Structure 1
Amino acid sequence: MADMDEQRGPARGPTGRWRHGRPPRGWRPGPPPWSRWAEEHEGPFEDDGDGGTRHRRPRWPWRSTVLLTAFVLIGSHVADHAQEGQRVALDPFGRVLLLVAGAMLLWRRRHPVHVVYGTVAAVLLYAGAGYPYGPVFLTVVVACFGAVVSGHRHATWAAMGVFWAGHLLIAHVLYRWLPPSGDHAASWNQEIVIATWVVALLAVSELARIRREHWVRERAERVRAARRRADEERLRIARDLHDVLAHSISVINVQAGVGLALLDSDPEQARTALATIKAKSKEALGEVRQVLDTLRAPGTAPRAPAPGLDRLPELVEQAASAGLTVTVEGEPPPLPPGADLAAFRIVQEALTNVVRHSGSREARVRVGQGGGRLRLCVDDDGPATGADAGGGGTGLAGMRERAAALGGTIEAGPRPDGGFRVVAELPLEVEEDR
Structure 2
Amino acid sequence: MESYADRIERYAARWPRALDVVMVLALIGCASLGTQLSLPGTSTPDSGKPLEVMLGLSCFVLLKYRTHTRTVVVVVALVTVAAIARGYLLTPLLLAPLLAAMYWLAVLCDRRTVRAYAAVVAVALLTVNVASENIPDLSIVLTVIGPVFWLALPIVAGNMARLRRDYLESVQARAEHAERTREEEARLRVAEERMRIARELHDVVAHHLALANAQAGTAAHLARSNPEQSEKILNDLTGTTSSALRELKATLGLLRADDHPQGEGLEPAPGLARLPELIASYRSAGLGVTVTTEGEPRPLSPGADLTAYRIVQEALTNVSKHATSSHAHVRFTYADARLLITVSNDGPAAPTTAASGGFGLMGMRERANSIGGELCAGPRPEGGFEVTTALPLQPSAAVERETP
Q: Which residue of 239, 244, 269 maps to 1:306?
A: 269
Moved more, 202-211 or 412-421: 202-211
Contact 1:80 / 1:132 at 8 angstroms: preserved in 2?
no
Distance 1:396 1:158 in 2: 64
Name the CA shift for 1:189/1:142 in 2 (closer, same or farther; >3 Å): closer
Contact 2:315 / 2:387 at 8 angstroms: preserved in 1?
yes
Contact 2:290 / 2:330 at 8 angstroms: preserved in 1?
yes
Moved more, 84-93 or 276-285: 84-93
Aligned to 1:333, the other structure's residue is in SS state coil
Q: CA deviation at 1:368?
A: 3.1
What one-letter code is carried by the residue in structure 2 that aligns with 1:349? E
Contact 2:271 / 2:309 at 8 angstroms: preserved in 1?
yes
Contact 2:372 / 2:392 at 8 angstroms: preserved in 1?
yes
Moved more, 243-252 or 415-424: 415-424
Identity %: 33
Q: CA deviation at 1:359?
A: 2.8
Query: TM-score when scaled to structure 1?
Result: 0.62
What one-letter code is carried by the residue in structure 2 that aligns with 1:320? R
Distance 1:352 1:142 in 2: 75
**Where do 5+ consecutive residues of structure 2 fail to align?**
1-8, 36-51, 81-93, 131-142
Contact 1:119 / 1:139 at 8 angstroms: preserved in 2?
no
Q: Which residue of 306, 325, 328 maps to 2:288?
A: 325
Determine whether 1:374 maps to 2:339.
Answer: yes
Aligned to 1:424, the other structure's residue is in SS state strand
The alignment of Structure 1 onto Structure 2 pairs a total of residues equal to 344
Aligned to 1:329, the other structure's residue is in SS state strand
2:329 maps to what in 1?
Answer: 364
Q: Which has the higher helix share?
A: 2
Query: Could you list the per-position Cα deviations for residues 105-161 of structure 1 after superposition, in whole angstroms to 9, with x for gaps in the alignment?
Result: xxxxxxxxxx4x4455557656766687389669938963xxxxxxxxxx7556646
Distance 1:129 1:290 in 2: 85
1:422 maps to what in 2?
Answer: 387
Determine whether 1:261 maps to 2:221.
Answer: yes
Q: What RMSD, in angstroms, separates the aligned Cα atoms of the two structures? A: 4.5
Distance 2:117 2:378 in 1: 76
Determine whether 1:251 maps to 2:216.
Answer: no
Name the CA shift for 1:397/1:281 in 2 (closer, same or farther; >3 Å): same
Query: Could you list the per-position Cα deviations for residues 171-219 of structure 1 after superposition, in whole angstroms to 9, with x for gaps in the alignment?
Result: 457999xxxxxxx997223334444445444544554555555555555
The structure with the larger Rg is 2
What one-letter code is carried by the residue in structure 2 that aligns with 1:309? L
Distance 2:275 2:230 in 1: 26
1:188 maps to what in 2?
Answer: 148
Q: Which residue of 34, 38, 41 maps to 1:86?
A: 34
Q: Which residue of 391, 406, 410 maps to 2:375?
A: 410
What one-letter code is carried by the residue in structure 2 that aligns with 1:66? R
Q: CA deviation at 1:356?
A: 1.4
1:233 maps to what in 2?
Answer: 193
Distance 2:245 2:127 in 1: 90
Q: CA deviation at 1:347?
A: 1.0
Counting only pairs closer than 5 Å after superposition, residues 16-415 of structure 1 correspond to structure 2 as 64-67=12-15, 69-74=17-22, 77=25, 84-86=32-34, 115=66, 117-118=67-68, 121=71, 133=96, 140=104, 144=108, 156-157=110-111, 160=114, 164=118, 167-168=121-122, 171=125, 187-208=147-168, 210-211=170-171, 214-215=174-175, 218-262=178-222, 272-295=232-255, 303-330=266-293, 332-385=297-350, 387-388=351-352, 392=356, 393-415=358-380
What one-letter code is carried by the residue in structure 2 that aligns with 1:249? L
Q: CA deviation at 1:348?
A: 0.8
Moved more, 76-85 or 392-401: 76-85
What one-letter code is carried by the residue in structure 2 that aligns with 1:318? S
Aligned to 1:133, the other structure's residue is in SS state helix
Aligned to 1:251, the other structure's residue is in SS state helix
What one-letter code is carried by the residue in structure 1 that aligns with 2:270? P
Name the CA shift for 1:163/1:378 in 2 (closer, same or farther; >3 Å): same
Contact 1:320 / 1:326 at 8 angstroms: preserved in 2?
yes
Distance 2:353 2:27 in 1: 91
Query: Could you list the per-position Cα deviations for residues 240-274 of structure 1 after superposition, in whole angstroms to 9, with x for gaps in the alignment?
Result: 22211221121022123234435566666555555
Name the CA shift for 1:68/1:396 in 2 (closer, same or farther; >3 Å): same
Name the CA shift for 1:187/1:126 in 2 (closer, same or farther; >3 Å): closer
Distance 2:29 2:269 in 1: 82
Query: TM-score when scaled to structure 2?
Result: 0.66
Aligned to 1:348, the other structure's residue is in SS state helix
Q: CA deviation at 1:301?
A: 7.2
Q: CA deviation at 1:343?
A: 0.9
Name the CA shift for 1:322/1:169 in 2 (closer, same or farther; >3 Å): farther
